[in-house]
Structure 1
Amino acid sequence: MKFLIIFWGAFFFFFSAPFPIFIYMMGEELATEPRNSLAVSYGYLGFSLLIWLYVILFFINILFIKTFKEKNTIQSILRNGIPREAKIINYKLLKYIPKTNMNIIQIILSFPNLRNTGIEHEMMFHDSKPQEKRFDVGNKVKVLLNPNVSKEPYFILSDQKVGFNTSGIVLRIVFAVLMIAYITGLYYYFYMRESFDFGWRFLTFMHPIIFSGVMTLIYILVFQLLISRLFKNKKEERILFSGRNAEANIISVSQTGLLVNDQPQIMFQVSFKDFRGTEHITVCKKIVSLLNLSSVPKSGTIEIMYDENDPKKIIIPKGF
């Protein structure tokens, strides 16, 4: 997975930065006369500045602001988090790092959520003291739930340490500086090369100043789309950590026709009563493994969790 992310990141970077410049320099003759009117050229200039400003703000948010917000959220949970005792019901060693004597592990925890509904949740992290075997199956650990479910993370281990990776921060700063230098250099180089005392009237949509920005914007949109597909739906996470459980009557079960990693998506139409006694009819979609398709219930009841503020939003927390 890491290799694929690096590969596609390098691929999209090539087509958003050097490729538009290379194509332009190879195929465009140097114009010594204005290509556009003053109004059109300043329109293109403003359009390019808006694109590059969005790109800069996006990366600053991803590289710095989001990281600092997550750190502040974890510190807030350490101070004000709601304590729970969690039982480890599954353990998997993903990788051992001999240099630091650390294990990268994946565990499944069982504990009550904010509404005291029992849930199971998977987490992956570095175990810095593997010799203590704190995370063997059957052991119990202390966790802290985030009382504000509008922010991630939704829970942390009670002894979790918060800090910044110095080398990682330095690399982020270097990347941000190089990106701003590239954008500034793009404007400076082509203005000095093509303005000929006519200002910005050499700009066209296919000019690298604009087209490189457009390609970078497409790269960002593709990145966001991939991230949204790779990671679990945040709405489901919020319901899992703050929702209530209920027994729902199955009305109908059908396949939607959508396949995710060759696994079918199943749509359940169910009816249930919330904790106030109000009955609701709603639908829920769930990806089911082909191996477990035959065990999907077609009738009877099924355990669900729902958002008490909007009971139409439900999830099926357990697999089949």
Structure 2
Amino acid sequence: MKFMIIFWGAFLLFFCVPFPIFIYMMGGELATEPRNSLAVSYGYLGFSLLIWGYILVFFINNLFIKTFKQKNTIHSILRNGIPREAKVIRYQLIKYFPKTNMNAIQIVLSFPNLRNTMIEHEVMFHDSKPQEKRFDVGKEVKVLLNPTVSQEPYFILSDQKVGFNASGMMLRIVFIILLIAYITGLYSYFYLKESFDYGWRFLTFMHPIIFSGVMTIIYVLVFQLIVGKFFKSKKEERILFAGRNAEANIISVSQTGLTVNDQPELMFQVSFKDYKGTEHIAVYKKIVSLLNLSSVPKAGNIEIMYDENDPKKIMIPKIF
């Protein structure tokens, strides 16, 4: 999965940076006369600045601001988190790092959520003390739930350490510097090459200054879509950690026609009563492995979780 994300990231990035420039340079002779009126050219210039400004804000927010906010949230959970006893029900060793004597592990924990509903949650992290076997199946660990369900993370281990990865932060800084250098170079190079004392009147929508930015925005949206298909949505996570459970009756199960890596998406229509006794009908969609397709229930009852403030929002923790 990690390889596929990197591959598609690099593939899409090619169409954002070198591809628009290459197509433009090969597309025709250099124009020595204005292509647009002054008003239109400044409209294109303003549009391009908006695009690149949005892109810069997007990456700075995701690479830095969100990271600092998450660190502050973890500190807040360590001070004010709601304690729970969690049981390890599954353990998988991902990788061992002999230099630091650390294990990258993936475990599944079972514990009560904020509504005291038993849930299961998968988490992956680095175990700095593998010799203590703290996370073997059957062991109990202490976790702290985030009382503010609108913020991530929704829970942490009670002894979790908070810090920044120095090499990771350096790579992020280098990326932002390269992005700013690329944007600055793009404007400078083409202005010196094509302005001919007419200012920005050489700009068109297909010019690399604009088209490269448009492709970068499309890249960001597509990349988020690809990555998002491999992880639970925030809405599902919030319901899992703060929702209530209920026994629902399956009305129908059908395929939506959407597939991800040849795995079909199923749509469940169910009816259930909330904790107040009010009946609701809700729809839930989930990607299901072809290997497990035959074991998906098509009728009868199924356990669901729902948002008590908006019972139409549901999730099915265990479909098979």
Scaled by the length of structure 1, the TM-score of the pair is 0.93
Residue 136 (structure 1) shift: 0.3
Task: Name the structure 2 match of 1:119.
Answer: 119
Task: Name the structure 2 match of 1:206.
Answer: 206
Moved more, 203-212 or 110-119: 203-212
Residue 175 (structure 1) shift: 1.3
Tell me the distance in 2 between the aligned counterparts of 1:297 and 1:23. Answer: 52
Q: How does 1:90-109 map to 2 (within 5 A)?
A: 90-109=90-109
Task: Name the structure 2 match of 1:191.
Answer: 191
Letter in 1 for 2:69: K
Tell me the distance in 2 between the aligned counterparts of 1:252 and 1:162. Answer: 45
Q: How does 1:211-222 map to 2 (within 5 A)?
A: 211-222=211-222
Task: Name the structure 2 match of 1:179.
Answer: 179
* 1:173-202 CA distance string (max 9 Å, x none): 111112111111211122122212111112
Tell me the distance in 2 between the aligned counterparts of 1:253 and 1:10. Answer: 37
Residue 41 (structure 1) shift: 1.0
Question: After the TM superposition, which segments of 4 or more aligned residues of structure 1 sit over 4 Å from their partners?
Answer: none
Residue 68 (structure 1) shift: 1.0
* 1:37-65 CA distance string (max 9 Å, x none): 11111111111111111111111111111
Task: Name the structure 1 match of 2:262.
Answer: 262
Tell me the distance in 2 between the aligned counterparts of 1:264 and 1:22. Answer: 38
* Contact preservation (8 Å) 2:229, 2:260: no
Task: Name the structure 2 match of 1:147.
Answer: 147
Secondary structure of 1:16's aligned partner: coil
Unmatched 5+ stretches in structure 1: none
* 1:131-171 CA distance string (max 9 Å, x none): 11000000000000011111111111011111111121122
Letter in 2 for 1:177: I
Pairing 1:241–2:241 present: yes
Moved more, 52-61 or 209-218: 209-218
* 1:281-319 CA distance string (max 9 Å, x none): 333334444444444334432222111111122222123
Secondary structure of 2:15's aligned partner: helix
* 1:2-59 CA distance string (max 9 Å, x none): 3333333222222211222233233332322222111111111111111111111111
Secondary structure of 1:283's aligned partner: strand
* Contact preservation (8 Å) 2:115, 2:244: yes
Residue 229 (structure 1) shift: 1.7
Secondary structure of 1:230's aligned partner: coil
Pairing 1:31–2:27 present: no
Residue 122 (structure 1) shift: 0.7
Tell me the distance in 2 between the aligned counterparts of 1:181 and 1:90. Answer: 47
Task: Name the structure 2 match of 1:163.
Answer: 163
* Contact preservation (8 Å) 2:91, 2:137: yes
Unmatched 5+ stretches in structure 2: none
Tell me the distance in 2 between the aligned counterparts of 1:144 and 1:99. Answer: 30
**Structure 2 CA distance for partners of 1:27 and 1:299, relative to 1, 3 Å:** closer
Residue 106 (structure 1) shift: 0.7
Moved more, 11-20 or 56-65: 11-20
Task: Name the structure 1 match of 2:50.
Answer: 50
Moved more, 109-118 or 40-49: 40-49
Letter in 2 for 1:102: M
**Structure 2 CA distance for partners of 1:289 and 1:184, relative to 1, 3 Å:** closer
Letter in 1 for 2:179: M
Moved more, 253-262 or 158-167: 253-262
Aligned residues with identical type, % of pairs: 82
Task: Name the structure 2 match of 1:231.
Answer: 231
* 1:236-290 CA distance string (max 9 Å, x none): 1111111111222333444444444434444333332221122223333344444
Moved more, 109-118 or 167-176: 167-176
* 1:79-138 CA distance string (max 9 Å, x none): 111000000011011111122211111111000000000111111111111111000000
Secondary structure of 2:229's aligned partner: helix
Number of residue pairs the alignment of both structures matches:
320
Pairing 1:273–2:273 present: yes
Tell me the distance in 1 between the aligned counterparts of 2:131 and 2:277. Answer: 50
**Structure 2 CA distance for partners of 1:214 and 1:91, relative to 1, 3 Å:** same
Task: Name the structure 1 match of 2:308.
Answer: 308
* Contact preservation (8 Å) 2:297, 2:319: no
* Contact preservation (8 Å) 2:44, 2:205: yes
CA RMSD, 1 decimal: 1.9
